A and B are shown apart, each in its own frame.
Chain A
Amino acid sequence: MDKYYFDTCTIIDYIDDRSSFNKKVVCAITQIKGLRVFSEYMENELKSVLRHAEKFYERKDIMLNNYIKVKQSSNIKFIPNNNQILSLHRFCIRQEVRPLKFQDMVHIGICGLENVPNIVSEDWHIHGHEGTGRPFIEKVRNELRFNDPRHAFTTRSGYLKMEV
């Protein structure tokens, strides 16, 4: 069974029924035939954004409840913040990638560590490049010796499009 890791911004559009992208993102995600993978790292980021974004100030509890329903109703693999992931976070932050994208590297790194071949993200630049044009994920891949996930992203046009 194929595995799909969910980035935080995708989850936000997925659970926010007031988002202009919600219907299309939901539609794209229903096309996923495989195991959905969430992580404590993503969940922590999600909760913090719900608490600090003015946009969600009055709806943070409803939004989190929506997320928990998704988490409980789907076939989910949940990855806790274990030592490997903490080391990955430490490693990525030391890379000092510009622009600031180390958390994206962590999310992609989680895929690598857990052998999840796909990442679903709203951010087309999750694979961002250095000034030299070299994808910064190469730094993590070379160092940690794992396979780069094929990048699946919801195009916000209602279907799941594969990239990379």
Chain B
Amino acid sequence: MPHEELFDHLAKVYIEQELLINKISDGIEIPLSKAENIVNELIKDEDLLKLIRMLDRFFLIKHYRDSVKLIRAYRNRLYQFISHTIGTEKYVSILGLTRKELEESFKKDVEELLKRKEAFPLLEAQLNILLRWFGR
């Protein structure tokens, strides 16, 4: 995988883990925090988890208390993120996956990303620029 595609691949893994957490959590037996742990277990690798946590900072919604503003802020970030990385078509195809399909695709994409661990410091630097750019 060429390096220029690597950031988009990380973005895809991030979107997949987001949707997988949402699909796994049922609010009763599996609350959101437990679903997060389950997905973290699937990732296992600490370096990749660090990159994922950095991307979480991009999505962190601070200060807003009003539900309307919270929703708008989240939608805005998701749109920015998708339009600058994987694109709408890819996002829609991930959105339509079943839990099983999503889990398989996620595992495969994590595996591929881990084959390029030597590029993680560069991805981290790119993420730092992104976070600084957006003031997060």
Q: Does residue A50 face the partner (Cβ distance < 8 Å to B)?
A: yes
Which chain B residues numbered 72 to 94 have a C-beta less than 8 Å away from chain A? 72, 74-76, 78-79, 88-89, 92
Bound state CA distance, A13 and B66, in angstroms?
Answer: 9
Q: Interface size (A, Cβ < 8 Å)?
A: 38
Q: Interface size (B, Cβ < 8 Å)?
A: 35
Bound state CA distance, A122 and B71, in angstroms?
Answer: 11
- With A9-B71, A89-B95 already in contact, the answer to whether A47 and B59 are too (CB < 8 A) is no
Check if A103 sits within 8 Å of B21, measured CB to CB: no
Give the number of residue pairs across the A-B interface with Cβ within 8 Å: 97
19 CB contacts below 8 A, A to B, read A10-B67, A47-B25, A48-B18, A48-B22, A48-B74, A49-B61, A49-B70, A51-B21, A51-B36, A53-B64, A60-B33, A61-B27, A61-B32, A64-B32, A65-B27, A81-B96, A90-B88, A93-B79, A94-B88
Give the B-binding residues of A (Cβ under 8 A): 8-10, 12-13, 16, 19, 21, 43-45, 47-55, 60-61, 64-65, 67-68, 81, 83, 86, 89-90, 93-94, 100, 102-103, 122-123
A51-B21, A65-B31, A93-B88 given. 16 additional CB < 8 A pairs? A9-B70, A12-B70, A12-B71, A43-B22, A44-B19, A44-B95, A48-B59, A48-B74, A54-B61, A60-B33, A61-B27, A65-B28, A67-B27, A93-B79, A100-B75, A123-B68
